[in-house]
Structure 1
Amino acid sequence: MGKPRSTKEIPLPIPTARDWGELPEDDLDLLASYRDYFGKSCEEIQSRFSRAPIAMVDGIRWMPLRPFVFYIRCLAKFVMSSPINESTAPDLASSFLRLIEEKAQTCPAGIRANMGVVREAVKYVSENQALFNAATDVYGDFSAHGSEIERLLGGI
């Protein structure tokens, strides 16, 4: 299946320190997210999505709203348009679907802000499990996961 075409969207500036807000010393997840992402463009983090997909996707999970909106868009575009790294692609695809499912329930505003590209990426990943080399016995059925996510997105 060919790569999907991106929908029209409004460019966003890289999140500032103010967008990140206060960083409590005891919030290790948020501090790690800030360390990995702060001040970086989508282009600057792409190689990290390939090298360490689980950690990088997890970092997006802990972000405040404004950085989340920016970096979830980067991730969604990355999963649809980047060359497949056979060793990390299954983790990237699975982690992406799980993050979207979680955030559709816990941060609907962040998903709503990128609904077009998120839906497009979920559809692409869920229809291309073999392309991501993701064994169903390990990663589950991406199409079933995609259907559940689409149901959740319909309620946003």
Structure 2
Amino acid sequence: MKRSLEIPSEEDWGDYKNDLDQKYAYKMFFGKNLAEARLLFQGAVIERTEELRFMPVIPFQYYIGAYYQYLTSLAVLNNRNASDTASCFLRLVESKLSDDPDSISPLMKELMSAIEYLAKNQTLFGADVDIYGDFNEILSEIKRLAQM
């Protein structure tokens, strides 16, 4: 996923100070470039995913690029949290399409290759269907929500 966006400014974060979730996301991500933000996902992917979920649109659209970079790197497969990384990404995309489609719809063509890769390689990520659900079913729901 190639993004030409610049690091989100203070103005892009809007009124983050009045929302605890956005305030924490700002604390973790503000001022970081994609390479720096990508490192944040290695240690705590579940927490970072939740922070993305609550970000204002511009920071979300920028920092999901860091998640995408991490997800599609070899580092993710060497991480004990590969299954959580894959599942959290799919669930984030699914929930954004359902709850805030304007924030993610413009990115769906770029994100779809990673989404399809995850659906085809659930076992590679060690994501047990009984725990994480069937990634192919999540893919179908994402396509339905994205009208793809």
TM-score by length of 1: 0.87
Any stretches of 5+ residues in structure 2 without a counterpart? Answer: none
Residue identity matched to 1:101: E
In 2, the alpha carbon distance for the partners of 1:30 and 1:72 equals: 15
Cα distance in structure 2, aligned partners of 1:125 and 1:101:
13
Alpha-carbon distance in structure 1 between the residues aligned to 2:38 and 2:17? 27
Q: Does 1:19 align with 2:12?
A: yes
Other structure's SS at 1:11 match = coil
Root mean square deviation of aligned Cα: 1.6
Per-residue CA shift, 1:110-138, capped at 9, x if unaligned?
21221222111111111111111111111
Distance 1:38 1:100 in 2: 21
* 2:140 matches 1:147: yes
Higher relative helix content: 2
Runs of 4+ in 1 over 4 A off after TM superposition: none
Contact 1:73 / 1:114 at 8 angstroms: preserved in 2?
no
Q: CA deviation at 1:10?
A: 4.9
Number of residue-to-residue matches in the alignment: 147
Paired residue for 2:48? 56
CA change 1:51–1:17 in 2 (3 A) is: same
**Distance across 1 between alignment mates of 2:3 and 2:27:** 26
Q: Which runs of 5+ in 1 are unaligned?
A: 1-5
Equivalent residue for 1:114, pick from 89, 99, 107 = 107
Give the 3-state SS of the residue equivalent to 1:113 in structure 2.
helix
